[in-house]
Amino acid sequence: MSVVATLLFGSLARADELDSSDTDLLMIALENETRRITAGHLSLFLYPWQTLKKNAREGDLFLCHLVREAKPLLDPNGYLPRLQDAFQYRSDYMSDIAWAADLGWYLARFGTELNSNLLAKRVLWCIRTILIARSANRRNPIFAPQLLAEQTQSSAGKELLLRRHITRRDAELRKLLRLFLEEETSPDRFNNQADQTAFIERFVVTSNKVALQTIQQEEQSQIGYS
């Protein structure tokens, strides 16, 4: 495996980390392999260069995060500046908002079946993605939770963003998430009436990768418990 660059991103790159914050590292490889490794507070992402470059040209939100905030730890050949040059905004980020809202409603209604750690991570992902996508629509993308909290009118959203490292009961998490979605999105009849099977079918049809990964992770954890 040929790693050509290592980038630091997230709270440590912004210098707004807390004691419990993760260290997020992105390694750029020339081979066509994608991998994520999590160990304690270390999250390591391995991405192929060609995939990153393609996603930058397509305005992917994760790439927007990287080109705006990442810091090079090892980048002798300037791969981060190349990504910054390649990045182009999409015309809008409504699809990202829809994906996060759909997963959010799924969690609010059926999240009792997820383990607590996964639920907490996905709840925060849904809230942050909706707010980040809106800021990207304004061409002023914001990623820091403290600043995102200033962008929402939802008191539940502010609570979850500003006190995100507090351990909460699952029922409280789901209640706060529902309040945020009711205050910040326009739920349709599907979100309130669809059963789990219909949600999963929708995730497949809309290529909602994070939602499908969430379900897969929970299925794998259940197998581990059996």
Confidence of residue 226 (pLDDT cuts 50, 70, 90): very low
Kindly report, residue by residue over 155-211, the tens digit of the pLDDT: 999 999 999 989 999 999 999 999 999 999 987 899 999 999 999 999 999 999 999
Are 69 and 76 spatial neighbours (Cβ–Cβ below 8 Å)?
Answer: no
The amino acid present at 11, given as its one-letter code, is: S
pLDDT tens-digit map of 8-53: 999 899 988 777 778 999 999 999 989 988 888 899 999 999 999 9
For the chain, how far is it from start to end, CA to CA, in angstroms?
Answer: 35
DSSP of 101-127: HHHHHHHHHHGGGS-HHHHHHHHHHHH
Query: 164 with 180: CB under 8 angstroms?
Result: no
pTM: 0.91
> Could you give the CA distance from residue 126 to residue 189 in angstroms, rounded to a whole number?
19
Within 8 A by CB and 6+ apart from 81, the residues are: none
The tokens describing 2, both together, are: 């040929």
H/E stretch holding 25 reads: strand 23-29
CA 131, CA 152: separation in Å to the nearest integer? 7
